């Protein structure tokens, strides 16, 4: 049974958390007829979390289906029914055949529009919380199927850990052997990049004379999958790849300075996270990550610098809304 939490309106509430993702490998294929690109990606969940509370609203005077967003960048997140968490709640509520009024509270811990799936994590946490709150008892597979309807990254935010993603990113196969802890620095940029715009920019670059030949392709995933079986961060760092990086750099050339700052600070590898503009610096251990974070921060190229690590668990309910997520 969900743990009941009393709110001022006398509602029952469930809180779930979901992690940010990074793409250790992001190979982008051709544009498909449905407007998506075929992907070959290795996802990893990292220790930055979205927190979503879904509450049954009993009081007459409470706002209908309220969405409240707090935390860094909250002002850039919609609070109407286009919010991905609201879409997740609406999907499960109609499936449950109830017209129960549900309020949604989101605490952002993942950079907004940063290429780390913040909105997708909101959707994942909202699905897990609403499933529990309404007593639907959907298993992980059923939740991931609903998740795929909401966005390509949402199933992985439910799954967590490290996984191979294919299709448009929604078809997952776990990489259970990839357990070694990885330390990295996350450098946030001023402003965001729109995911569809970055994919379109890659198509444009590939369409230029010589584009398809000159852009480095991410290639096969086997060297990374093999490296992840060991515990040598330098070996893993040597085989990371992101096909979207040239497109993100083309749209936001200032990111080159950020990547240079990380390289000069001694990171094993630096790259744009997914569709960007967040940059990731992979480090040998936590000590190096602390040093790289300090140096990148000092150069002033990033709006904010955070330390993180992975892999961590996927979306899950927490009993106490203040509780630290499971790792």
Residues known to be catalytic: 21, 153
Using CB under 6 A, pick the residue from 118, 151, 311, 325 that binds ligand CDM. 151
Check the annotation: does 121 bind a ligand.
yes
Q: Which is nearer to ligand ATP, 116 or 292 (CB)?
A: 116
Using CB under 6 A, pick the residue from 19, 27, 109, 115 that binds ligand ATP. 115
CB 49 within 8 A of CB 37: no
Q: Which is nearer to ligand CDM, 39 or 56 (CB)?
A: 39
Q: Among the candidate windows 126-134, 147-155, 181-189, 307-315, which touches ligand CDM by CB under 6 A?
A: 147-155
Using CB under 6 A, pick the residue from 113, 236, 244, 279 that binds ligand ATP. 113
State phi, psi for 231 to the nearest 5 degrees: -130, 40
Under the binding rule (CB under 6 A), the answer on residue 120 touching ligand CDM is yes
Using CB under 6 A, pick the residue from 13, 16, 54, 117 that binds ligand ATP. 117
Q: Among the candidate windows 35-43, 108-116, 173-181, 303-311, which touches ligand ATP by CB under 6 A?
A: 108-116
Q: What is the DSSP string of 233-246?
A: HHHHHTT-EETTHH
CA distance 147 to 157: 9
3-state SS assignment for residue 157: helix
Residue nearest to ligand ATP (CB): 119
Under the binding rule (CB under 6 A), the answer on residue 275 touching ligand CDM is yes
Within residues 151-180, the interface with ligand ATP by CB under 6 A covers 153
Under the binding rule (CB under 6 A), the answer on residue 242 touching ligand CDM is no
Under the binding rule (CB under 6 A), the answer on residue 277 touching ligand ATP is no
CA distance 267 to 289: 8
CA distance 49 to 58: 29
CA distance 261 to 258: 5
CB 133 within 8 A of CB 145: no
State the Cα angle at 128 between 133 and 27, rounded to 5°: 165
What lies within 8 Å, CB to CB, of 102 at 6+ separation is: 54, 55, 56, 57, 65, 89, 93, 130, 133
Q: What is the DSSP string of 115-137?
A: SS-HHHHHHHHHHHHHHHHTT--
Q: Among the candidate windows 109-117, 132-140, 202-210, 296-304, which touches ligand ATP by CB under 6 A?
A: 109-117
Q: Among the candidate windows 125-133, 194-202, 226-234, 314-322, which touches ligand CDM by CB under 6 A?
A: 194-202
Q: Which is nearer to ligand CDM, 204 or 286 (CB)?
A: 204
E-strand stretches of 32-115: 37-56, 67-70, 102-107
**Cis omega (within 30 of 0) for bond into 317:** no
- Residues of this chain that interact with ligand CDM (CB under 6 A) are 23, 26, 35-37, 39, 41, 117, 120, 151-153, 168-169, 195-196, 199, 274-275
- Residues of this chain that interact with ligand ATP (CB under 6 A) are 76-78, 83-85, 112-120, 122, 153, 195, 274-275
User: Residues at the annotated binding site?
Assistant: 111-121
């Amino acid at each position: 049974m969900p743990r009941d939490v009393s709110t001022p309106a006398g509602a029952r509430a469930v809180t779930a958390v979901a992690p940010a993702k990074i793409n250790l490998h992001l190979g982008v294929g051709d544009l498909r007829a449905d407007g998506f690109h075929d992907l070959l990606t290795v996802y990893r969940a990292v220790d930055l979390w979205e927190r979503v509370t879904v509450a049954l609203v009993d009081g007459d005077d409470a706002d209908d289906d309220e969405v409240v967003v707090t935390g860094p960048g909250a002002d850039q997140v919609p609070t109407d029914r286009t919010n991905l968490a609201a879409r997740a709640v609406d999907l499960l509520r109609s499936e449950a055949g109830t017209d129960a009024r549900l309020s949604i509270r989101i605490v952002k811990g993942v950079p907004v529009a940063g290429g780390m799936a913040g909105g997708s994590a909101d959707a994942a946490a909202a699905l897990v919380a609403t499933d529990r709150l309404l007593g639907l008892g959907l298993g992980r597979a059923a939740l991931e199927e609903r998740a795929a309807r909401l966005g390509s990254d949402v199933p992985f935010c439910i799954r967590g850990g490290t996984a191979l993603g294919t299709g448009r990113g929604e078809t997952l196969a776990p990489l259970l052997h990839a357990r070694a802890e990885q330390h990295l620095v996350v450098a946030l940029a001023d402003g965001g990049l729109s995911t569809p715009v970055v994919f379109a920019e890659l198509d444009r670059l590939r369409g230029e004379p010589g584009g398809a030949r000159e852009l480095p392709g991410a290639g096969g995933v086997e060297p990374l999958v093999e490296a992840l079986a060991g515990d040598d961060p330098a070996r893993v760092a040597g085989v990371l790849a992101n096909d979207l990086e040239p497109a993100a750099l083309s749209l936001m050339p200032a990111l080159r300075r950020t990547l240079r700052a990380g390289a000069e600070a001694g990171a094993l590898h630096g790259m744009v996270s997914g569709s960007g503009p967040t940059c990731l610096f992979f480090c040998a251990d936590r000590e190096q990550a602390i040093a790289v974070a300090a140096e990148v921060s000092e150069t002033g190229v990033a709006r904010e610098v955070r330390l993180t690590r992975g892999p961590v668990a996927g979306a899950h309910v927490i009993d106490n809304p203040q509780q630290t997520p499971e790792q």
